[in-house]
A and B are shown apart, each in its own frame.
Chain A
Amino acid sequence: MKFSYRELRKKLDSGETSCREVVSSYLNKINERKHLNVFLSVFNEEALKKADEIDYKIKSGYAGRLAGMVISIKDVLSLKGKKMTCASKMLENFEAVYTATAVQRLIDEDVIIIGKTNCDEFAMGSSNENSAFGAVLNPADESRVAGGSSGGSAAAVAAEMCMISLGTDTGGSIRQPAAFCGVIGLKPTYGRVSRYGLTAFASSFDTIGPLGKDIYDIALVLEIMSGYDPRDSTSVSDVTDFKAEDIENIDLNNLRIGVVKEYLGEGLQPEIRDKIKEVIERLRDSGLIIKEVSLPYLKYSIQTYYILTTAEASSNLARYDGARYGYRSPDSGDVETMYINSRSEGFGEEVKRRIMLGTYVLSAGYYDAYYRKAQKVRRLIKNDFIKAFEEVDLLLTPSTPTTAFRIGEKTTDPLEMYLNDIFTTSANLAGNPAISIPVGWDKEKLPIGIQLTARDFDEKTALAAADYILRSEFT
């Protein structure tokens, strides 16, 4: 099913195919490759029933703008009446009582939700190996990780188990797995899409975005999800001018592409560096302006990111205490025992590591040295971006330092694992939109992704340029 939603919609409208056929075909794929461990729940009958309903709507001529688009959503997003495990034993049996705003907006345009995808526990991880329900295997090479934390979403799109998957991105959790699995992943500007219903990991970093195979699909889904939500005070009201069709009207002549000097140094897999250079050369040949830019504070991204996100996480995850919902240890004598045992048994190692780190950096006597200082560096990184975008319109960087690594390869060294986010965390620190697109393969036939970062709320330029690159002959 290698066509875009626009092509599919034509076939649905003309009666050449039906939503039921489309859903059945995806369900078959999901069943065929169950061992990839992509989904935490699949809505078989419900998706088929919904397909019939939407087939009827299409025939009747009042179907929504996304009628028949089959999507999956990461299992940290709330969908009323459905389990939301966050890939954690803590919420193994938790059922959501309301639907996330972004998801509801898609439902209102008649998407069909086929299931909820696996991910790292509470979206903390870069390989999907932190899921309490097992790692997702990379469809391109099943001995390798799918990336994380939205590994299930990236794999679901790559393995054609759905057309679009909604992931979340706090430090690269959409873009890194998209790169590892060879699909497109967009992290929107912070504030563009309501976070209401997204289980918080780090509130001032978390974003919801689409993964897919077609730029226009991504743009359309973004358009519908975005905009002010009275339930999220940090969602923006005055910059909601994004329209998917805009990306077709952008003049790429004279577009200035910035190449970040600091990002092409050591630690980058040579094939990725070569691929970036190749893309740069071709863009230059096509008349785009290529400029080298410097963002000196980027080298502090990882440290800053881990101080601030763990601080927020330590507070955001305090609610999972065994008192009201979620896992409660059978050994819960008094209140304190209940807290200690429920949280020790309910959370995985990485989540506990981050809660402890975050608690530490917020503690009396350490706050100024860590949290406050990191906030200042965050501001400096933002300033770096602002300055860079005075000179260029987009930044072109690798998405990841390497292609997908082997399952188990990095699980013993958390720092090594954290370094995977080196190119992606800065966009979350600064809030800017960024997209990862597949531009080829390394010699082991593993997908390579590159990242385009844009000014705040300028997703359209990033999407237009990404579209241009994808249509060229790089791949």
Chain B
Amino acid sequence: MSRDYGKYEPVIGLEVHAQMKTKSKAFCSCSTDFNSPPNTNVCPICIGHPGTLPVLNKSLVDFILKLGIALNCNIERRSIFARKNYFYPDLPKGYQISQYDTPICSDGYLEIKYRRIGIQRIHMEEDAGKSLHDLSDDSSLVDLNRSGIPLIEIVSQPDLRSAEEAYDYLSKLKQMLVYLDICDGNMEEGSLRCDVNVSVRLKGDSEYGTKCEVKNLNSFKNTADALDYEICRQIDILEKGDKVIHQTLTYDAIQKITYPMRSKEEAHDYRYFPEPDLVSVYVDENWISEIKGSMPELPDVRRARFINDYGLPEYDAEVLTAEKSVADFFESVVSRVKNPKSASNWVMGDVMRVLNDKKISIGEFWISSGNLAALINLIEEGKISNNIGRTVYEEMLKVKQKNDERQNPEYIIKEKNLILVSDENELERVVKKVLADNPTEAERYRNGEKKLLGFFIGKVMRETGGKADPKKLNEILSKNLN
């Protein structure tokens, strides 16, 4: 599926910034709520008043340890923070607290479809504020609600070999972050941001080519598109016999091209040095086992379990475990039904259709797993047909409260009188009536035109309002026709 780059091979590494969904900021107790009015989630610490000091939020360490463990990283037993110094109006202290020499997690990997992608390091840092340049003609405004929001930076090894692989890596990483419940994964709100490093070389070369960096990509698709463009640009340069110049680039998502940042923007000497206001973070075995104990089942493990325990096809397991909340919903349904595959079909089909149509998440889906399971069981037990099941489902969708009894399929069936007619005498009566009304067709059937069976089933269904028990109907029809 990977695009063919001819005799060239791209080498790609990604740096992903993920916003952690801790309740309070990284180094003060201000709220991290995204929806607050500008400059309301602030205190003397996160706006850099003189004399204030940072104090590390322990949840941030808990969160990063979860990811570090999930990505098979080495956990640094003693790591320190560093100051990254630069001037910007939305950076209140004139430096960002980050980690430099001793990232808390290093040397891990993430499995994507066909390969294992190395994770070089994961470290903690704080976000800057947000500059707003377009609200006023002659001045810029700064919102410091974001100042001090905890971020982690995940740096991959240069192991990716195509834009598609980069896309897969990002999707997988996001899945992991969301599974671990440490990041909401929402790129539009900036909770995931990505920088890429990319170079190209001839296939088989062991040396890397000259790399370029594309900064501040705000969606997976833009990342893949930017990479595609940049790889082709670099190949074109090499094809002409020229040399790629090391540059920092930015991506224009409308024109779909990369272009160099002003050299001023990239010429930073951050003057990193150890943050003297914070003490070292010591992580011991107890802390690590505590975190391990609190971790949810990871997607790969869960997918395998769905295949083994529920006998689901690999495709179903993949789709159902893509999002933790969907997998949770599925498990809540499947635990109440006899046939896991029907549960899978319903969740992957009818439920996901609604999610896609309404553009909502499973968390916002209003049919309870209990009611859906009850519906599946009614069909499985033959109390209603598949078709009536669909009708009942449509009725259930009209009731927006999970605990409303009118959402219960039994209630709907009773209320709308949809229970299957399986009374043999009643079916016998209807069949006889249909045969009497259609003597010509009955004759043709008896003369060998067997495909007319469907015609009679249709007639009976119409007479019974679709409620004839299909199994019983088959028997009785055959008996009366033969």
Contacts and interface: CB of A to CB of B under 8 A. Distances in A.
A234 to B, nearest CB: 6
B54 A318 contact: no
Given A315-B271, A363-B269, A321 B55 contact: no
B281 to A, nearest CB: 10
Nearest to A312: B276
A84 B44 CA distance: 14
B94 interface: yes
Contact of B51 (A100, A312, A339): A100
B47 A324 contact: yes
A321 B87 contact: yes
Interface of A: 76-78, 84, 86, 91, 94, 96-98, 100, 195-200, 202-204, 230-234, 311-312, 314-315, 317-319, 321, 323-325, 335, 339, 359, 362-364, 367, 371
Given A230-B55, A359-B271, A371-B273, A319 B279 contact: no
Contacts of A230: 55
Nearest to B131: A335
B53 A323 contact: no
B61 interface: no
B44 A98 contact: yes
Contacts of A335: 89, 140
Given A315-B85, A371-B273, 4 more contacts: A91-B50, A196-B51, A232-B53, A317-B94
Given A339-B87, A371-B273, A233 B50 contact: no
A78 B51 contact: yes
Given A233-B277, A233-B279, A234-B279, A318 B53 contact: no
B83 interface: yes
A319 B89 contact: no
A369 B316 CA distance: 60
B55 A233 contact: yes
B370 interface: no
B83 A197 contact: no
B93 interface: yes
13 contacts: A77-B51, A78-B50, A84-B50, A199-B50, A200-B51, A230-B55, A234-B278, A315-B85, A318-B93, A318-B94, A323-B89, A335-B140, A339-B87
Interface in B63-104: 83, 85, 87, 89, 92-95
B52 interface: yes
B397 interface: no
Interface centre among A97, A199, A311, A319 (most CB of B within 10 A): A319
B94 A200 contact: no
Nearest to A362: B271
Interface centre among B49, B56, B87 (most CB of A within 10 A): B49
A436 to B, nearest CB: 25
Contacts of B50: 76, 78, 84, 86, 91, 94, 96, 199-200, 319
Interface centre among B52, B54, B272 (most CB of A within 10 A): B52
Given A204-B276, A312-B276, A315-B94, A195 B271 contact: no
A319 B273 contact: no
Interface centre among A98, A232, A234, A318 (most CB of B within 10 A): A318
Contacts of B49: 96-98, 325
B132 interface: no
Interface residues of B, number: 29
A204 B278 CA distance: 10
B85 A362 contact: yes
Given A197-B51, A233-B54, A321-B87, A311 B273 contact: yes
Interface of B: 44, 47-56, 83, 85, 87, 89, 92-95, 140, 142, 269, 271-273, 276-279
Nearest to A335: B89
B146 to A, nearest CB: 15
B38 to A, nearest CB: 14
B435 to A, nearest CB: 88
Nearest to B270: A364
Contacts of B51: 76-78, 84, 96, 100, 195-200
Nearest to A230: B55
A195 B94 contact: no
Given A196-B53, A362-B85, A319 B277 contact: no
A214 to B, nearest CB: 28
A77 B142 CA distance: 28
A100 B49 CA distance: 12
Nearest to B275: A203
Contacts of B52: 196-197
Contact of B94 (A319, A363, A371): A319
Nearest to A359: B271
A233 B83 contact: no
Contacts of B54: 233
- Please give me the 3 A-B residue pairs with the lowest Cβ-Cβ distance, nearest first: A318-B94, A362-B271, A204-B276
Contacts of B269: 363-364
Given A98-B44, A203-B277, A233 B95 contact: no
Nearest to A97: B44
Given A91-B50, A203-B277, A324-B48, A315 B55 contact: no
B85 A323 contact: no
A258 to B, nearest CB: 29
Nearest to B49: A97
Contacts of A196: 51-53
A234 B277 contact: yes
Contacts of A233: 53-56, 277-279
A118 to B, nearest CB: 17
B389 to A, nearest CB: 59
Nearest to B268: A364
Contacts of B56: 233
Given A311-B273, A363-B271, A195 B53 contact: yes
A325 B52 CA distance: 15
B375 to A, nearest CB: 54
B265 to A, nearest CB: 12
Contact of A203 (B85, B94, B272, B276): B276
Contacts of B44: 97-98
A270 B1 CA distance: 86
